[in-house]
Chains A and B, each alone.
Chain A
Amino acid sequence: MGRIDRRGFLKLAGATTLAGAVGAPYVARAQAAPKVVIVGGGFGGASAAKALRRWAPSIQVTLVEAKRSFVTCPYSNLVLAGWRTMEQITFGYDGLAKAGVTMAHDTATAIDAAGKTVSLAGGQSLAYDRLIVSPGIDIKWGAISGYDEAAAQKMPHAWLPGEQTVLLRKQLEAMPDGGVVMMAIPANPFRCPPGPYERISMIAAYLKQAKPKSKLIALDAKDAFSKKPLFEDGWKKLYGDMVEWVALSKDGQVSKVDPAAMTLETQLGTVHKAAVANVICPHYAGRIARDGGLADGSGWCPIDARTFESKLIKDIHVIGDATIAAPAPKSGFVANSMGKVAAAAAIDMLAGREPSAKTWVNTCYSHIAKDYAISVAGVFSADANGAVVEIKDSGGVSPREAADEFRRQEAIYADSWYDSITKDTWA
């Protein structure tokens, strides 16, 4: 057949059908009910699955997700504070099944881009017309010397929520009053840019109430971070000397840990002893994306932001934290938005149409105390080269000068936001 892409092939097939050839019904049926496989049932994958079923009910959508329920990273810091239970941040997949999505609770082991199939650990092979990969992140073990899976049992990262969140909470509960909690925070890019700083706030809120003689020292591999002035104002006002944040330029980068000694060592050799250590180790795109050839040398996945199709492999979209999408942050809300844009693009591409440009949003809340929250928002689109662009003069963070009532209002909106975004994704 020579070099001919799929779209050209379908056109040829269509022309043959018009000419009255036999054997056309198979092609016709394939066109009538295309197959989309989605790998990953987090904010991105579940949102894409629901959007496809809503907008093009004739598409057969299969969602591959090993877990039976999903624990959200958003609000997992509130579990550390003791304000939420794990059950309250855990969601099942009944809503997706009800929306007509076929659930495959299995692990995707390989992608065959040429044959257009995904292999599952259970031995099944799923054929797709288009694939959407929403793999989340994996911890890059060893990126901090001495930090491996065993070390994470003593010094939890708690950046993939679940057992790690529970472990960190238990360690905080068991710590004697007067103990020092150490945190290691990675350089950009990483999942949830304001997340480590909300975590500082939530741990401090717990310590202030339960262990007021304790201290929290956060060692950061950066000099600046998301919503920095707002967090620093909040910490000073609410937690005083309890919180100490150490910038990269003040020897904040952790290069080595010793879980047996419970020490963290910085780049310049300063050794910090911890009673509890939360090591947010650098991470990269989830394994299936890296093994599937969807990530570049950075460990993250380049995409065309008009469609979220991979720049490396055609007919495969990548969404969520695994993508290279700055200035859009790696957030659950962004992943949910990307799922909708990718679904709309996939429908057009399956129909052989050129997808139009879309505009989409991010809204993220961070708590500093129970009735004190701040937000970041952004409106995004794609430029002619397929790069993500933030609409000029839009978005940004909560105002620095704001009354307590404003912060309280944002804490109320944060709860509504969490309720809406999780229901929109899984219910």
Chain B
Amino acid sequence: MRKSAILAGLVLAMPFAASAQSVTPTQVMAATCAGCHGSELTGAGGVPSLRGQQKDYLERTLNDFKSGQRPATVMNRLAKGYSPEQIAELAQYLAGLK
């Protein structure tokens, strides 16, 4: 009881800078995918889920969209806006979502 009160006091006094992590550019990139793929990136209607996929598959698919090797309606145009490094980071991040 006493211990938890002290802990609560510590959390309250913890400066915002220490408690709030920076949102990474990759997190923001993934968050803007939500506009079509859904808030949780689980897909919507005809738009596929980005969750539960392997990193290699996601990275290859995005790079194939970028090169035009894999046809799509809108994803070719969007993938061209990302560098190979951004695609790798995005694939890593998406593959790590629970």
Contact = CB atoms under 8 A, between A and B. Distances in A.
B44 A32 contact: no
Interface string B33-48: 1111111000011110
B84 interface: no
A352 interface: yes
Interface in A306-343: 333, 336-337, 340-341, 343
A395 B77 contact: yes
A32 B13 contact: yes
A35 to B, nearest CB: 11
A14 B21 CA distance: 19
A348 B22 CA distance: 6
B73 A424 contact: no
Contacts of A3: none
Contacts of A351: 16-17, 20, 22
Interface in B41-78: 44-47, 73-74, 77-78
B4 interface: no
B35 A336 contact: yes
A379 B78 contact: yes
A34 interface: yes
A119 interface: no
Contacts of B13: 25, 28-29, 32
Given A31-B15, A340-B32, A394-B80, A377 B74 contact: yes
Interface residues of B, number: 38
A361 B12 contact: no
Nearest to B13: A28
A361 B35 contact: yes
Contacts of B29: 358-360
A412 interface: yes
Given A359-B25, A359-B86, A379-B78, A420 B44 contact: yes
Interface of A: 14, 25, 28-29, 31-34, 51, 55-56, 58-59, 333, 336-337, 340-341, 343-344, 347-348, 350-353, 355-361, 363, 375, 377-380, 391, 393-396, 398, 406, 409-410, 412-413, 415-417, 419-421, 423-424, 427
Q: Which 5 A-B pairs have the closest CB atoms?
A: A379-B81, A394-B81, A416-B45, A344-B23, A351-B17
28 contacts: A14-B15, A31-B17, A32-B12, A34-B16, A55-B20, A55-B23, A58-B16, A341-B28, A343-B23, A344-B22, A356-B24, A359-B25, A360-B29, A361-B78, A375-B74, A377-B77, A377-B78, A379-B78, A395-B80, A398-B73, A412-B46, A413-B36, A413-B46, A416-B46, A416-B47, A420-B39, A424-B35, A424-B39
